[in-house]
Each structure stands twice: as C-alpha cells, then as structure tokens.
Amino acid sequence: MLNAMDGKPVDRVPVGFWHHLRDGEYNELEASVKAHMDFYRGSGIDMMKVMSDGISFVFPHKMEKASDWADVRPNGPHSRFIEGSVERAKRIRDELDGDCCLFYNIFAPFSLVRFFAGDERVMEHLREDRRPLMDAMAAIAEDNAELVRRLVTDAGCDGVYLSVQGGEINRLTAEEYEEIVTPSDLPAIVSANEVSNYNIFHMCGYDGVRNHLEVWKKYPARVYNWAVYIENITLSQGRTYLKPKADCILGGFDNRKTGLLYRGSEAEIRAETRRLLDDAGTLGTMIGADCTIPIDIPLEHLRWVVDEAERYGNGEKGAR
C-alpha cells in the first residue's frame, strides 16, 4: 500500500473502497468499530477508511441569517468532534492490529456548514454577506487542523482522507472558490502533510456536476481521488493532468447504483478491473471508486476486484 502511494513497484495494485455507516452505527462506538471491521474482513480490501458519520463539528445554534455565522467558534481540542473522532480511529486501529493502513475521513469546512444549515441557505448567506460565513469556516478549519494532527500522532492513523466538495462549476467561479473556500480547505491539508506523508485527497463529485479541478489540483497530497465518471477524466488522463503533484491515483469505478461495480456480473467487474489497470498502469495506482459506494453493495463484488488485481499482478489471463 505505501509503495503504491510512493509510486514504487508493487506485487499487485492495492484496492480500497468504503461506504457510510448505517442507522444505529453512528453514535455507538463498538457498533461503529464492528461495522468497519465487518466491511474490511468481508471485502478483502487493502486499506481502512474510517467514516466520520455521527461525529461532526457542533454549531452553537441555527443559522437563520448571514450574521449568525459570526457566533461560530472552534469546538476545541477536548470536544467530542475531536476526542470522539480520535477514539473511534484508535479503537479501529487496535482491532486491525497493523493488518492494513488506516485513514480517517475529514470533511472540509464548506461541506460541514452545508450539511448543518443546508446548501440553499448557505449560498444565500454567501451572497448576502460572505464574511461571517468565511470566519465560521476558519473556526472549523482550526479544529480540522488539530483533529488531523491528533488522528496521526494519537490515534495512529497512517494519514487522513481529506474530502473537498462544493467546487461545482455552476456554484462559484474558480476565482470565487479560491477566495471564499480555499482558505478554509488548506489548514487541514497543511496539518496533514506536516504529520504524515501518506494522505489521500478526495475531489468529490457527489452532486453529479463537474468541479473546478483546476483549483483543487493545486492542493498538495500524496494520493488524488476524483470522480472519473463526473469529470469525464480517466485514470490515465487524470495522472497526466495532476502531474507533477500526484505520486499516486486512486479510483476508476463508478460508485453509483447505476454503475457496473454495483450492478455488474462477475465477468463484467473482473473485465473492468483489468481494463482500469491496462489504462492506469501498476505504478502509483490504487483501484477504488469515484466516491462512497452504496451500503447494500454485495461484498463479493469487491472481492472480485481484489482477486482480479491479484491475478493481473501475477500475469494471469483474465477470468472467463
């Protein structure tokens, strides 16, 4: 896994997928640990991404008007946002007992404010008076930077999985995004790179609209993951586009229920795995998906990907 992230030769290309927690697994520590471990053991994947579902930044009250965002302050190092995240990651690390690399999901402040107040309201407030909201995102960014550091130094994560959203071309111009959002994106990225060389940068295409990748490609990370099927940029094209930043690229499969990973047959999924590896090559490549996969995906579909990557690495012909 680390060789792949470093762009070094590997015996086989590693595979990583993840999905959100189910109801009942959000707030109970042992239930969330069990859910992560069941998925890891059942799928045969090569990495663990700890989902942050149920543990988020706490806002002081509802944000009815733009000026309300001025009341947002960092939750602080002893908050559940930080302590709960570190505890969950640490417990999963203990369960893994060194079996694979461990990463923790971090949402950028622009995502967290929209999760809390709703996308439409946040955009209204930005148009009305952007400064209070930008200050609120800066407060969240302060906590994110501390959280990232603690996840590596205290919880033993190998790195973090940094997710940015809201860069759709129909939302803000590239210049507006860099002015309004980038300042709150960067503290966690800077903090992550200070404590680990192994961080994954996820350029989320969840909304089905292309993003300003020209902004996000400037952010420094070891591994880049983008929505191949939204951005219409293949793995090999993305590797070229992201040079010289990316040591490793992650993805390839459509994560949606309409995609082949969810609905395809064994032969189709195995064939697609080989096609992706033919396209991307085996140096600095990890096979995964555009984003979070459906909770109810059959785990055997993921095992087919892992097994076919193994066969590919061994020089075997594709499965019938």
Q: Which pLDDT does position 316 carry in this prediction?
A: 83
Q: Taking the domain 2-313, which CATH number applies?
A: 3.20.20.210
The predicted model scores a pTM of 0.95
In tens digits, what is the pLDDT along the chain, a chain of 320 residues?
Answer: 999 999 999 999 999 999 999 988 888 999 999 999 999 999 999 999 999 999 999 999 999 999 999 999 999 999 999 999 999 999 999 999 999 999 999 999 999 999 999 999 999 999 999 999 999 999 999 999 999 999 999 999 999 999 999 999 999 999 999 999 999 999 999 999 999 999 999 999 987 899 999 999 999 999 999 999 999 999 999 999 998 888 999 999 999 999 999 999 999 999 999 999 999 999 999 999 999 999 999 999 999 999 999 999 888 876 53
Q: Which pLDDT does position 78 carry in this prediction?
A: 96
Q: Which pLDDT does position 289 carry in this prediction?
A: 98
Q: Which pLDDT does position 313 carry in this prediction?
A: 86
Q: Which pLDDT does position 314 carry in this prediction?
A: 84
The Cβ of residue 74 has, within 10 Å, a number of other Cβ atoms equal to 18
CA distance 62 to 145: 24
Residue 251 φ/ψ region, left for φ over 0, alpha for ψ in the -120 to 50 degree band, beta for the rest? left
DSSP letters, the chain, are -HHHHTT---SS--B----PPPTTSSS-HHHHHHHHHHHHHHH--SEEEE--TT--PPPSS---SGGGGGG-----TTSHHHHHHHHHHHHHHHHHTTSSEEEEEEE-HHHHHHHHH-HHHHHHHHHH-HHHHHHHHHHHHHHHHHHHHHHHHTT--SEEEEEE---BTTTS-HHHHHHHTHHHHHHHHHHHHHH-S--EEEE--TTSS-B-HHHHTTS--SEEEE-HHHHT--HHHHHHHHTTT-SEEEEEE--STTSHHHH--HHHHHHHHHHHHHHH-STTEEEEESSPPPTT--HHHHHHHHHHHHHHHTTPPPP-
CA distance 210 to 205: 7
Q: Which pLDDT does position 245 carry in this prediction?
A: 82
Q: Which pLDDT does position 12 carry in this prediction?
A: 94
Q: Which pLDDT does position 175 carry in this prediction?
A: 98
